[in-house]
Homo-oligomer: A and B are copies of this chain.
Amino acid sequence: MHNSTNDNKSTSKKKVVAVVGGGLVGALNACYFAKRGFQVEVFESREDIRQAKIVKGRSINLALSHRGRQALKQVGMEDTIVSKGIPMHSRMIHSLNGTQSPIPYGKKGQVILLYKILCFVTAAAETYPNTNLNFAHKLLDWSTETGAMTFVRAEGAKEEIQADLIVGCDGAFSAIRKQFLRQSRFNYSQTYIPHGYLELTMPPINGEFAMKPNYLHIWPRNTFMMIALPNLDKTFTCTLFMPFEEFEKVTTGDQVITFFQKYFPDAIPLIGAEALKRDYFRLPAQAMVSVKCSPYHLGDKCVLMGDAAHAVVPFYGQGMNAGFEDCLVFNEIMDQLNEDFSAVLPEYTRVRVPDDHAIADLAMYNYVEMRAHVNSKLFLFRKYVDNFLHIIMPRTIIPLYTMVTFTRTRYHKAVKRWHWQEKVINQGLLFCAAVSVAGCSYLLVRYPPNMPNIPTEQLWSRLQALKSPF
C-alpha cells in the first residue's frame, strides 16, 4: 500500500507533524504525511473508536463521491473502501399520496454510502511505522510561535511535544481554531440553521430492505423533510429534519403518530408505530452548524483542515468529500512548493478558502432547495432540461450537482459556471417559449381551427390516453 522509505528527501529530516483530531480527515492526513516520511503524531481526545460502542441516533451516513475517492486513491485506499459501501444511483421522491418517483444523479454518477470508514482509515494510518496514534489525549495548550504543545491524558498525566507543523482536524468545534480566533484579522462565522435532526430506524421486512435500496429516499414537505439511507444490515436510517420549534410541539407518542400521519403516512407501517413512538424521544433533536473562516493557517506552524476549517450543513453530501479533498489539495501544494511550510501554508489558504466557502454556501442553498423545490413541477422540469442538455452537449452544460459530486472542478468555479449556465438556459427556454407562442399564434390566425366542442374533462382523458403504452 505504501513505502515510507521511497522519499529520501523527507526521511533525512524527520520533521514532526502533529495531527490534532483522529477523525476521518485527521486519519487520512496521517497517511499523507506519513507517506512523505514525516514523523506523524495523531492526537485524539476520545478513545479509539474501534473499541467504542456505536452511539445510535447521531450517525448521519457518509456519502463518498468523486473528490473523496480521488483523495483516498492517492494513498491507495480507494478500492478497499468503495468495495465495503453501498452504491446509490438515484434519489427517490416520496410524495404525500405515497407515489415514488426517482431523480437519477446524472449519467455518469453514483455515490457510495460508507460504513465504519473511520475504522478503515485509522487502520491504514497505523500501518505506517512513522505514525503514532495517541488516543484519549486532550489538547491543553499550544504555542503558535514555537509549536510546543501540551496534552493531558485520560488518567491526568501531562504530555509535551514539539511539532514542526500542527494540522488542526479536530472538527466543527475545533480547539485548535480557538487560537486563531485570538489573532487579529481572522474572519470567522458560525451559523446554526433553525432545523434540527433526529434519527429513526426502519427495520428489514422478512429479512429484506423495507424499501428499494440503492436510493436516497426523500420525503420533501416544504419546512420539514425526511430522508432514508440503506445500511448494510438491511435497515434504513431515517433522518427527520425539522425546525426546533416544531420538534418542541411534539411531546407525546400520540402526537408523533398524528404528525407522521399528516406528513409521512407511508413511513408509519415501515418504521412501526410502536418503535416510532419510542425512538422519536430517544435523543433530543441535534443542531447543525455551518462554519466558515479565513485564513486557514498561522505562520508556518499551523493549518486547519476538514470541519475545523469549514463545517458544512449535510445537505450536499460533501462534508467528508470536501475534507478529504483538503488533504489532496494540500498534498498537491506540498509537491509544487517542495514541502516548504512557510510557502505551502499561505498558498493552501489562498487556493482552498474560496472553494470551501463555496461548498458551505452550496450546502446551505441545498438546505432550502431539498425541502422546498424537490416537489415543485418547475424544479423537476429544470432538472430534466439540465440533464438532457448535458447529454446532448456534455462539455458545455454540466449540471451543478454533477460538477460538485462527480468531478474535481474547483467548488467556486463550479458555482461560477452554474450561474453562467443558468442564465444561458433560462434565456434559451424563454426564447423557445416566445418562438412557440409566436408560431402557434401565426398558425391559429392563418388556419383557424374547426375545433369540436369537447368538455375539458373529456379532453383531459383523451390527452391521458395518448400517454398510454397501449
Give chain A's interface residues, CB within 8 Å of chain B: 181, 184-192, 244, 287
Show 12 A/B contacts (Cβ-Cβ < 8 Å), sorted by A.
Answer: A181-B190, A184-B192, A184-B287, A185-B192, A185-B244, A186-B190, A187-B191, A187-B192, A188-B189, A189-B189, A189-B190, A189-B191
A contact patch SS: strand
Q: How many copies does the complex hold?
A: 2
CB distance from A293 to the nearest CB of B (A): 9
- Expressed in whole angstroms, the Cα–Cα distance for A191 and B181 within the complex equals 11
The answer on a CB contact under 8 Å between B190 and A187 is yes
On chain B, the residues within 8 Å of A191 by CB distance are: 187, 189
Q: In the complex, which residues of chain B have a beta carbon less than 8 angstroms from the beta carbon of A186? A: 190, 192
CA distance A334 to B325 in the complex (A): 52
Measured in the bound complex, the distance between the Cα atoms of B337 and A28 in whole Å is 55
In the bound complex, what is the Cα–Cα distance between A287 and B187 (angstroms)?
Answer: 12
Q: How far is the CA of A65 from the CA of B187 in the complex (A)?
A: 30
A225 to nearest B CB, angstroms? 19
Measured CB to CB, the closest approach of chain B to A325, in angstroms, equals 25
Which of A186, A192, A244 is packed against the most chain B CB atoms within 10 Å? Answer: A192
**5 pairs of A and B residues whose beta carbons are closest in the complex:** A189-B189, A185-B192, A184-B287, A188-B190, A187-B191
Residues of B within 8 A of A185 (CB): 192, 244, 287
When C-beta atoms are compared, the residue in chain B nearest to A190 turns out to be: B188
A187 surroundings in chain B (CB, below 8 A): 190-192
Neighbouring B residues of A244 by C-beta, 8 Å:
185
List, in ascending order, chain B residues with CB within 8 A of A188's CB.
Answer: 188-190
Using Cβ atoms and an 8 Å threshold, which residues of chain B touch A184?
192, 287
Find chain B residues with CB under 8 A from A181 CB. 190
Q: Which residues of B contact A192 (CB under 8 A)?
A: 184-187
